[in-house]
Amino acid sequence: MYLYPEKFDVIVVGAGHAGCEASYIASRMGAKTLLLTMSLDTIAQMSCNPAIGGVAKGQIVREIDILGGIMAKVTDLTGIHFKMLNTSKGEAVWSPRAQCDRTLYRIKAKQLLEQQKNLVIRQEEVIKILTDDKKVIGVLTKHNNIYHSNCVIVATGTFLNGLIHIGLRSFPAGRYSEFSSSLSDSLKELGFEIKRLKTGTPPRIDGKTIDYSKLEIQPSDNPPIPFSHFTPISKFPYQKLLYCYITYTNETTHKIILDNLDRSPLYTGIIKSIGPRYCPSIEDKVIKFRDRQRHQVFLEPEGLYTTEFYCNGISSSLPEDVQEKIVKSISGLENAKITRYGYAIEYDFCPPIQLWHSLETKLVEGLFFAGQINGTTGYEEAAGQGIIAGINAVLKIRGEEPLILGREEAYIGVLIDDLVTKGVLDPYRMFTSRAEYRLLLRTDNADLRLMKYAKKYGLVEENYYELFLEYQQKLEQLKKFFETKKTSTGETIADLIKQSKEFKLEETELENYKINSDYFWNTQNLINEAKIQIKYSGYIEKQIHQAQQLKKLENKKIPDDIDYEKIPGLLKEAKLKLSQIRPKTIGQASRISGVTPADISILLIYLKKHYQNNKPPE
């Protein structure tokens, strides 16, 4: 047994999107960080589709970017197709999405990590979390190496006891051709509840064998909008822009699937765990939506230097010969050659109600979980958890209060609050509908919402912060100008904006609001932001008021020593859920599934009576 001579502040287990963000941000904050991965060649691997962003997910990426993460930067460096989604709707639901060169994404992410100070990267498989008196002290690897640290972040993705299914054949793997991890045994020994989830991926095909004349062309936005606030606009895009394509399944496709359900691991009971509700396999879609005559297939290029295409929409665990028939039944793919078959994968996860909002576990001090181990699905959801776990691990070492983002502050705040308060029954995916304050959480204002935290924790360079302050100041000035400047009709510019009417500004009128910048904080974005805030001002003010009302409940803290079993009148389910989750505030308690408004009223009365002589913490 070998004891590594140096002690680390933070150890991150796993180098997927959660692990990359966690290790990068911890090291940026000055913590001596170790990133352990089973393969140095698959750091930041895009295991599923080669895309970043999408509805609500794009907002998360922008939030990660402001907090100092790498996902947006790497996306801009490697993007080959960019699209702003939902532009026909209001700006509140606009979301950026990009196709990336899959191989280049992994290379650029690894390069950023390797160049980061305070970060050591090693190829090791962690098999045991080491603890002393319920406090983490390090990890043990398969090679019998011990690494000591103050905090450990587990970000293992789908590798915990991963089991791949193709037809009626199953084999252990974390991803196809990659070993699964046995770390679950150590987590069970520590007392963690472990359950199983399932996800899947579709076949990939050779682009040389596609008949493009039968497909709907989907061009990239041109010029595209960068993901990162810190990408120089004059240099963007960095890569050649490629087309995506759309085709559809048909009745023949559906008959092939229905005729082969006896060979489906999903419908023969071999797969017992629950898959993602909003990203079902093609088998699921055909069974559950029998009235649908077709389902969309979105063909996404895998990169600049490969002819492979990802068939988004036909995720499947059916046998290889059936997948061949399915692909060839689709218009434009009659002669398509499959390069990689689709598969389903089952894996262990730890129900996230075992976590505090900081993503530190309740059972073991200094141990954090991030990503799919918490029951989420998606690169962006994983990365959002990773950056918060990384920041909070460092803050714990410093003895500072953790960063807990509110539901009104960030989609990441909604994500984490949902996980630790409600738990998951199936893989959690972020949607705009999950955020009650989504008008406040737009893709255009992540900087205005979160820059204060980046500044507080030293995660933004001074030159960018000064540029942001100039933008922020001129934004308020421009809004006042729009609200007071009268037009020839006697209306103000703000009146015209609220009525969605066109108006023209003279160059001299804009002179005071110009910003000499090649980044996000430029004159055009300044004008757009002012117009958005004015256009939706009534709705924004209403949501701000609602958020302030909620804050009153969030500020009512619940003592750690409270015994819910002793509170008369609480429903049995409420007692069970409250005892299990141990909410920190009345606000969090009110969002727990199974806890009724009546239960909250009883809890408030109990706290007032029980602690009137021994006042609970404010």
Q: What is the DSSP letter of 613?
A: S
pLDDT tops 70 at residue 413: yes
- The torsion of the CA quartet 323, 285, 46, 76, rounded to 10 degrees, works out to 120
Q: Give the model's pLDDT for residue 613.
A: 54
- CA-based angle 326:330:334, to the nearest 5? 90
Q: What is the mean pLDDT of residues 152-161?
A: 97
Q: What is the mean pLDDT of residues 392-414?
A: 97
Q: What is the mean pLDDT of residues 497-518?
A: 89
- Contacts with 565 (C-beta within 8 Å, 6 or more apart), sequence order: 575, 579
pLDDT more than 70, % of the chain: 99
Cα(152)–Cα(390) distance, rounded to whole angstroms? Answer: 10
Measured N-to-C along each axis, helices 411-422 and 57-66 cross at an angle, to the nearest 10 degrees, of 110
pLDDT in tens, 274-312: 988 878 899 999 999 999 999 999 999 999 999 999 999
pLDDT tops 70 at residue 579: yes
Q: What is the mean pLDDT of residues 178-206?
A: 96
Q: Are 8 and 366 in contact (CB under 8 A)?
A: no
Cα(582)–Cα(562) distance, rounded to whole angstroms? Answer: 9
Q: Band the pLDDT of 612: cuts 50, 70, 90.
A: low
Residue 392, token pair as written in the block? 């909070």
What string of DSSP letters covers 292-350? -S--EEEEEE--TT--EEEEET----S-HHHHHHHHHTSTT-TTPPEEE--EEEEEEE-
Amino acid at 103: T
Give the gyration radius of the chain's Cα atoms.
Answer: 25
3-state secondary structure string across 563-579: CHHHCCCCCHHHHHHHH
Q: Give the model's pLDDT for residue 10.
A: 98
What string of DSSP letters covers 199-215? EEE--EEEGGG--GGGS
Say which range, 28-37, 324-333, 374-383, 590-599, has the weakest mean pLDDT.
590-599
pLDDT tops 60 at residue 181: yes
pLDDT in tens, 317-355: 999 999 999 999 999 999 999 999 999 999 999 999 999
pTM of the complete model: 0.94
pLDDT in tens, 49-69: 999 999 999 999 999 999 999
Of residues 487 and 108, which shows the higher confidence score?
A: 108
The sign of the CA dihedral 220, 222, 226, 232 is: positive
Q: What is the mean pLDDT of residues 201-225?
A: 97
Enclosing H/E stretch for 164: strand 163-166
Cα(343)–Cα(315) distance, rounded to whole angstroms? Answer: 7
Q: Give the model's pLDDT for residue 597.
A: 82
pLDDT more than 90, % of the chain: 85
pLDDT tops 80 at residue 185: yes
Q: In the predicted model, what is the mean pLDDT of the chain?
A: 95
pLDDT in tens, 95-124: 999 999 999 999 999 999 999 999 999 999
Cα(66)–Cα(236) distance, rounded to whole angstroms? Answer: 19
pLDDT tops 50 at residue 576: yes
Say which range, 19-33, 240-254, 298-312, 546-560, has the weakest mean pLDDT.
546-560
Q: Give the model's pLDDT for residue 465.
A: 98
pLDDT tops 50 at residue 617: no
Residue 458, token pair as written in the block? 């030293």
Enclosing H/E stretch for 156: none
Q: Give the model's pLDDT for residue 615.
A: 56
Q: Which domains does the chain possess?
A: 204-342 (2.40.30.260), 461-540 (1.10.10), 555-610 (1.10.150.570)
